[in-house]
Amino acid sequence: MEIFKYLEDQDYEQVVFCQDKNSGLKAIIAIHDTTLGPALGGTRMWTYDSEEDAIIDALRLAKGMTYKNAAAGLNLGGGKTVIIGDPKKDKNPEMFRAFGRYIQGLNGRYITAEDVGTTVQDMDTIYMETDYVTGISPEFGSSGNPSPATAYGVYLGMKATAKEAFGSDSLEGKVVAVQGVGNVAYHMCKHLHEEGAKLIVTDINKDSVKRAMEDFGAHAVDPDDIYGVECDIYAPCALGATINDDTLSQIKAKAIAGSANNQLAEPRHGEKLNELGIVYAPDYVINSGGVINVADELNGYNQDRAFKQIEKIYDSLERIFEISKRDNIPTHIAADRMAEERIESVSRSRSTFLKNEHSIISRRNG
């Protein structure tokens, strides 16, 4: 992999490799863009097939956070961490403390939170070493686990997507095929079940499937069969790149709305969805509830304020669908334009010189 070429092409600012022999920590912190503010994005722990796969995942997820935070109206840039390892076997407190010290070393350029494979308890351990962590236990005045907030946003975003695809935002009687019923999707399914949607679920973890069947009367299918099931809405809520050359021809849904990051394997798959008339809710817009919730901690956490902001996801998606139709462009491009325009305009309005801004000159005079 030609790493500097990749960084230059996609305009990344910084990549930090963190290693701690004592705990087995192998982490990659990727910071994509801090025009809007410090980079905020979660920490994923996963067993990658290769170090290159881990680097690419960190980079793709970090760029996604730049767009997510910009589109959500947050004054935050984009970053993400991946820790290489099996979250079920390889974790230890020393690992997260060592990682916390690396974050502290970045002096506020990067703030972390949970993602796949990490928990509130892990964030509490990181908090022993750094303030630059969110999603820690509510006892510390924090917002806790972001998954319910993400799920609430995805549920509302799914309603906006249904309105576009079916003419009504009611999900009563709609068949939703859910891939991955983990932290976010469990809470999402609860909202859907309460509204009267019918659920078809799959997961590689049998206990998660069983829980969704018992709690929400979900029907289960094997992981490879989820794409081809007869349904109204496909909700990808596991890992990324599940909308790809293999799956596109199988999908029968008229709408796609789920929590997973980086759902499109490549941008051209978003174009294909547009051609097929499948309404796609851009991933980083519909799944921004969690980051909106944890970002509120930076103002002193207030759940009502955070959830009011999460409710705006519905309106953002309506706007994106409108732009997509008006300009005859796929929805993922409409979302990118919205995010890029915000970054551009904030960057222009912050371009004036400030003597007291953190800079080499102010430090010399300080």
Ligand X SMILES: NC(=O)C1=CN([C@@H]2O[C@H](COP(=O)(O)OP(=O)(O)OC[C@H]3O[C@@H](n4cnc5c(N)ncnc54)[C@H](O)[C@@H]3O)[C@@H](O)[C@H]2O)C=CC1
The amino acid present at 117, given as its one-letter code, is: G
Residue 120 among known ligand-binding residues: no
Write out the binding residues for ligand COI, residues 247-276 only, by CB under 6 A.
Answer: 261
Q: Which helix (H) or strand (E) holds 83?
A: strand 77-84
Rounded to a whole number of angstroms, the minimum distance from the CB of residue 290 to ligand X is 3
157 forms part of the interface with ligand COI (CB under 6 A): no
- The residues near 241 (Cβ < 8 Å, ≥ 6 apart) are 262, 263, 264, 265
180 forms part of the interface with ligand COI (CB under 6 A): no
Write out the binding residues for ligand COI, residues 10-69 only, by CB under 6 A.
Answer: 41-42, 68
Burial 84-119 (b: 16+ CB within 10 A, else e): bbebeebbeeebbbbbbbbbeebeebbbbbbbbbbb
Write out the binding residues for ligand COI, residues 134-153 only, by CB under 6 A.
Answer: 135, 146
Rounded to a whole number of angstroms, the minimum distance from the CB of residue 145 to ligand COI is 9
Among the listed residues 26, 63, 68, 80, the single catalytic one is 80
Q: Which two tokens stand for residue 228?
A: 């081809």
Q: Which residue is nearest to ligand COI (CB)?
A: 42
Residue 328 among known ligand-binding residues: no
80 or 332: CB nearest ligand COI: 80
Rounded to a whole number of angstroms, the minimum distance from the CB of residue 53 to ligand X is 14
By CB under 6 A, name the binding residues for ligand X: 114-116, 146-147, 150, 179-185, 202-205, 208, 223, 237-239, 259-261, 287, 290
**What is the distance between the alpha carbons of residues 205 and 180, in angstroms, rounded to a whole number?**
8
**What is the distance between the alpha carbons of residues 212 and 219, in angstroms, rounded to a whole number?**
9
User: What is the SS3 assignment for 144?
Assistant: coil
- Does residue 198 contact residue 175 with C-beta atoms inside 8 Å? yes
> How many residues of this chain bind ligand COI (CB under 6 A)?
14
Active site residue 80: yes
Residue 183 among known ligand-binding residues: yes
CA-based torsion, 286, 287, 289, 292: positive or negative: negative
Residues that bind ligand COI (CB under 6 A): 41-42, 68, 80, 113-115, 135, 146, 261, 287, 290-291, 294
Binding site for NAD(+): what residues are annotated? 180-185
